[in-house]
Chains A and B, each alone.
Chain A
Amino acid sequence: MTADRPRALLEVAGLTKHFPVRQGLLGLHTAMVRAVDGISFDIAPGTTLGLVGESGCGKTTTSKMVLGLERPTAGAIRWDGEDVLTLGREAMRRYRRAVQAVFQDPYASLDPRMRVGTIVAEPIVINERASAAERRRRVMELLGLVGLPERAATLFPHEFSGGQRQRVAIARALALSPRLVVLDEPVSALDVSIRAQILNLLRDLQARLGVSYLFIAHDLAAVAHMSHTIAVMYLGKIVEWGDADAVSLSPRHPYTQALFAAALPIDLDSPAPDAVLAGEVPSPLDPPGGCRFHPRCPHAMARCATEEPVLRAEDNRLVACHLYD
């Protein structure tokens, strides 16, 4: 990427995760699901990286490795220049405090037996020695930050609608003043009329707190709206990564083009997408050789089947495709 960017907050290099799967009658044969296969990206302070791709492409595995919930098979995760995978216990605790998450389903991610005030205070109780008065002050501040009334603290999750619950989940994620929040499909479970409220809230919080986001969603227009940079994944690889406007408005990789063509803009005059992809995503157990996209690619050439393309700079983004060699 361009050289004048500020130093990255999070930097991922050659990140790989293979899951062994036992096969055969006695489970003696092991195959590897190559869920994430050598990806690299970075996130600058106060910016959002949108991660897109279809189910099974490795988005969620990537976010789990960033959150420290899954240990990479290979590769490095650097936080503020330090290698996260070799951090000592105390430093790892600090890292975990600095990286928080908001998940898709606010009905599943909040304990139904805890009051909202307790839910939001829990990270503070676990990680800090704050007095009860101090905790209460911080909980009120957090609830105010996400637009909930103070009295919300005394209520239970079931007394809230989906959008309000997601606000509670956001308040909890912000409790320890993180520098990066992983947002895994944060609005997909919400009603259409509520999504804009939450997206606006997330953008306001970023402007106010300078927090970075790793934003994962299948709604491409929402990703384009929220992100400064976008990375597109296909079968465990990043095929295109760069400036959000460049990737979303003039995609270069044939897969990115097909994905954004299939995104169905609310535009009556856009022609019907003629770039409808045939076929389905192959199994990550046995990904195609060469470029993993070549069996579905409308522009595939002979070398695409044998030679794997690498990410190369092209018009404000990196793209892995032989068309641009």
Chain B
Amino acid sequence: MPLSTERPVVAVRDLRTHIVTRWGTIRAVDGVSFEVGEGETLGLVGESGSGKSMTCLSLIRLVPRPAARIVGGEVRLDGDDLLVLREEEMQQIRGRKVAMILQDPMSSLNPVFSIGMQVREAAAMYHHLRGRPLLERAASLLAAVRIPSPEARLRAFPHQLSGGMRQRVVGAMAIAAPPRLLIADEPTTSLDLTIQAQYLGLLKDLQRAHRLAMIFVTHNLGIVARMCDRVAVMYAGRIVEMGPVRRIFREPAHPYTRALLASIPRLGARHDRLTAIEGQPPDLANLAAGCAFAPRCPDAMDRCRVEAPPDHAVGERHVTRCWLSAP
């Protein structure tokens, strides 16, 4: 893509991840490219099955094997290609250089160990601390994610904490190193609204404090407006549009992005009918030739059903894949 961030923390180029199923090979990630710079947040939006999470798992090489396989592309972290590293080298990257926060905090926490043991493990691994300094470090990590009375909380077990508090503990472990890149995959989907607002504010502060590059996966465009500098819209394994959030929200170039923005209810527009996107999400095992959105696209032309549109720029740092604007 004709985009460059000055010295990006992570640069993904033509990433391809395939999943072999009974119904055929699914191209879950189909030629995805993007960059994220220091202190920058890239939002990754799209519906379920569009490849958002699979893209993230590919970055840290944790795709579910053996069904899924990364079949091509590059993932450069500070210049080094992660896809060619040996597995032992990759283990030094996970957590230390690239951390991840998932939707369900219980999938990241071990229910039979205390919070203290789990946070200490992370701190010990990255900083080779022991004894009193390690304990203090663990408590200060909990304090950094605004957990009240951190020393007491270190003795608690995950089930004794609320969902919001658990997700904070996961955040504390994620910044233990601190990493260069933080991947947040729907981190607030299981939280209540007021708790979500607290957590989003916390993530922003952590990002600023450590100059983290952040990839934020969500299907909530309100979160994108609040959290992200740039946004990439995914559909059927591809980025169909990417650019600065302001620009994408004001002048979306791709019909899917336009339809998505128009389909969301807004406060104060109660009497307007929503503009629904017709049809169903694509069946990835049976994708037709051409543009994957063509069957649902209000502006589809004959060409769209035959030939996939190329990636092209439509503005500064704004790219899309659509024949309507292709040169």
Q: Which residues of A contact B269 (CB under 8 A)?
A: 225
Chain B 270-295: CB-based contact to A (< 8 A → 1; otherwise 0): 10011111101100000000000000
Chain A 244-282: CB-based contact to B (< 8 A → 1; otherwise 0): 110011000000001111111111100011001110110
Q: How many residues of B contact A (CB 8 A)?
A: 43
Partner of A161, one of B245, B261, B274, B281: B281
Q: Closest residue to B245 on the A side, CB-wise? A: A268
Contact: A194 with B280, CB < 8 Å?
yes
**Complex: how many Å from CA A222 to CA B269?**
11
Chain B 167-198: CB-based contact to A (< 8 A → 1; otherwise 0): 00000000000000000000000001111111
Q: Which residues of A contact B164 (CB under 8 A)?
A: 280
CB of B314 closer than 8 Å to a CB of A: no
Q: Which residues of B contact A258 (CB under 8 A)?
A: 194
Partner of A249, one of B219, B268, B281: B268
**Complex: how many Å from CA A268 to CA B201?**
16
Q: Which residues of B contact A163 (CB under 8 A)?
A: 280
**Contact stretch, chosen from A21-29, A77-85, A168-176, A196-204:** A196-204
Contact: A277 with B197, CB < 8 Å?
yes
Contact: B201 with A192, CB < 8 Å?
no
- What's the minimum C-beta distance from A267 to chain B, rounded to whole angstroms? 7
Q: Which residues of A contact B281 (CB under 8 A)?
A: 161, 191, 193-194
Partner of B198, one of A161, A245, A277: A277
Q: Which residues of A contact B85 (CB under 8 A)?
A: none
Q: Which residues of A contact B259 (CB under 8 A)?
A: 193
- What's the minimum C-beta distance from A235 to chain B, rounded to whole angstroms? 13
Of listed A225, A245, A277, residue having the most chain B CB within 10 A: A225
Contact: B222 with A266, CB < 8 Å?
yes
**Complex: how many Å from CA A211 to CA B321?**
44
Contact: B266 with A266, CB < 8 Å?
yes
Partner of A277, one of B194, B250, B260, B275: B194
Contact: B193 with A196, CB < 8 Å?
no
CB of B265 closer than 8 Å to a CB of A: yes
CB of B157 closer than 8 Å to a CB of A: no
Q: Which residues of A contact B193 (CB under 8 A)?
A: 54, 218, 220, 259, 262-263
Q: How many residues of A contact B (CB 8 A)?
A: 45
Contact: B245 with A220, CB < 8 Å?
no
CB of A87 closer than 8 Å to a CB of B: no
CB of B91 closer than 8 Å to a CB of A: no
CB of A164 closer than 8 Å to a CB of B: yes
Contact: B267 with A191, CB < 8 Å?
no
Interface residues of A in 107-128 (CB under 8 A from B): none
Contact: B265 with A225, CB < 8 Å?
yes
- What's the minimum C-beta distance from B98 to chain A, rounded to whole angstroms? 27
Chain B 207-229: CB-based contact to A (< 8 A → 1; otherwise 0): 00000000000011111011000
Q: Which residues of A contact B127 (CB under 8 A)?
A: none
Q: Which residues of A contact B249 (CB under 8 A)?
A: 266, 268
- What's the minimum C-beta distance from B173 to chain A, rounded to whole angstroms? 21
Q: Closest residue to B223 on the A side, CB-wise? A: A264
- What's the minimum C-beta distance from A148 to chain B, rounded to whole angstroms? 12
Contact: B264 with A192, CB < 8 Å?
yes
Given A193-B259, A244-B270, A266-B222, A261 and B47 touching (CB < 8 A)?
Answer: no
Of listed B165, B197, B269, residue having the most chain A CB within 10 A: B197
CB of A306 closer than 8 Å to a CB of B: no
**Complex: how many Å from CA A222 to CA B267?**
8
Interface residues of A in 135-194 (CB under 8 A from B): 161, 163-164, 191-194
Chain B 18-34: CB-based contact to A (< 8 A → 1; otherwise 0): 00000000000000000
CB of A91 closer than 8 Å to a CB of B: no
Contact: B226 with A248, CB < 8 Å?
no
**Complex: how many Å from CA A163 to CA B280?**
8
CB of A221 closer than 8 Å to a CB of B: yes
CB of A238 closer than 8 Å to a CB of B: no
- What's the minimum C-beta distance from B150 to chain A, rounded to whole angstroms? 16
Contact: B226 with A262, CB < 8 Å?
no
Q: Closest residue to B261 on the A side, CB-wise? A: A266
Q: Which residues of B contact A245 (CB under 8 A)?
A: 268, 270
Contact: A191 with B192, CB < 8 Å?
no
Q: Closest residue to A219 on the B side, CB-wise? A: B265
CB of B162 closer than 8 Å to a CB of A: yes
Task: List 19 A–B pairs whose Cβ atoms lie within 8 Å, in order of A's numbering.
Answer: A191-B47, A191-B219, A192-B47, A194-B277, A196-B263, A197-B278, A203-B273, A220-B193, A221-B266, A221-B267, A225-B274, A249-B268, A262-B193, A264-B222, A266-B249, A268-B245, A276-B197, A276-B198, A276-B201
The 6 closest A-B pairs by CB, nearest first: A264-B222, A225-B265, A262-B197, A196-B263, A54-B192, A196-B276
Q: Which residues of B contact A (CB under 8 A)?
A: 47-48, 162, 164-165, 192-198, 201, 219-223, 225-226, 245-246, 249-250, 259-261, 263-270, 273-278, 280-281
Q: Which residues of A contact B (CB under 8 A)?
A: 54-55, 161, 163-164, 191-197, 199-200, 203, 218-222, 224-226, 244-245, 248-249, 258-268, 272-273, 276-278, 280-281
